[in-house]
Structure 1
């Protein structure tokens, strides 16, 4: 269940400012490193699409959800359709010279959903928050002995040419 919006701003040509707000919101939600960078890029693409193709007006809303971060990019004109998303997802749109941003959004985010109504289109971008630290290798239990060092056997050295011995 979504919480109250933590971020709400109108779409404008101040893309740096919007990226900063999205980065802060997503960082507070638990994203960091490459997933954070990817999410900010995806939202930037969605906002740019509203400016370039979606009538130029809309809203960015950031939601903090359990297990992830969500940003909704709404355009007031409602020009983005499910057909646009489907074409971009399957690579058909960007080969015709458009739709690369939608393709990128769908490949950077864990979930992308679109709601279209008479009030406009709302693209919902979601990124799961994964564990910050990858699993570490098992540590030796104190009473265990470390593995014996590798000592090559004659069979391991078969075919190896050794340098000549130096005179004594």
Structure 2
């Protein structure tokens, strides 16, 4: 596992930011649907920063033994635990869908506040292959071959 950390400012070029997160997540072991779920969740979080937050901040992504964590640091700091709790899937609704998507795609979503705004943590656990202990294989002694008589 790499100690490489992605740290970049939130930028209106969401395609560029999605690609950075995709590369970082792939570098840290996420693949396929798991990786695309993380990218979509980050996209939703970034869209919320522009639509409802402070319109700027920082993305910090880290790989670790348990998987990948991406933090979306929003200088607006308006996101609350109540917003996360109220998020629901309502096709007729006009808001809350992005937070619902984030919470259903990620293994864990955390929210913290600092003097610099809010920090939405998106956590994806890696799926490591199970370790199955195996006994050393015993070679069966070959029986001597006797020529057919």
Q: Fold conserved (TM > 0.5)?
A: yes
The 1:74–1:94 alpha-carbon spacing in structure 2 relative to 1, beyond 3 Å, is farther
Q: 1:54 to 1:93 in 2, by over 3 A?
A: farther
Task: Note the C-alpha offset of 1:109.
Answer: 0.3
Q: Map Cα deviations across residues 41-96 of structure 1 (whole Å, 9 max, x no partner).
A: 000110111011101011000011112000000100101111100111xx278764
Structure 1 residues 95, 118: CA separation in 2 closer, same or farther (over 3 Å shift)?
farther
Q: Please state whether the residue corresponding to 1:39 is helix, strand or coil.
A: helix
Q: Which residue of 2 aligns with 1:55?
A: 54
Q: CA RMSD in A?
A: 2.2
Q: CA deviation at 1:119?
A: 1.6
Distance between the aligned counterparts of 1:87 and 1:95, measured in 2?
Answer: 15
What is the deviation of 1:21? Answer: 0.4
Checking the alignment, whether the CA contact within 8 Å between 1:87 and 1:93 is kept in structure 2 is no
**How many corresponding residue pairs?**
130
Which blocks of at least 5 consecutive residues in structure 1 are unaligned?
A: 134-168
Query: Which residue number corresponds to residue 40 of structure 1?
Result: 39
Q: State the alpha-carbon separation in 2 of the partners of residues 119 and 5 from structure 1.
A: 24
Q: Quick check: which has more Rg, 1 or 2?
A: 1
Identify which of 98, 117, 124 aligns with 1:101: 98
Change (3 A) 1:92 1:41: closer
TM-score after normalising by structure 2: 0.80
User: In the alignment, which residue of structure 2 is the partner of 1:69?
Assistant: 68
Listed as ranges, the gaps of 5+ residues in structure 2 are 131-149
Report what 2:136 is aligned to. Answer: none
Point out 4+ residue stretches in structure 1 off by more than 2 angstroms: 92-96
Matched, 1:129 2:126: yes
Q: Equivalents in 2 of 1:39, 1:119: separation in Å?
A: 24
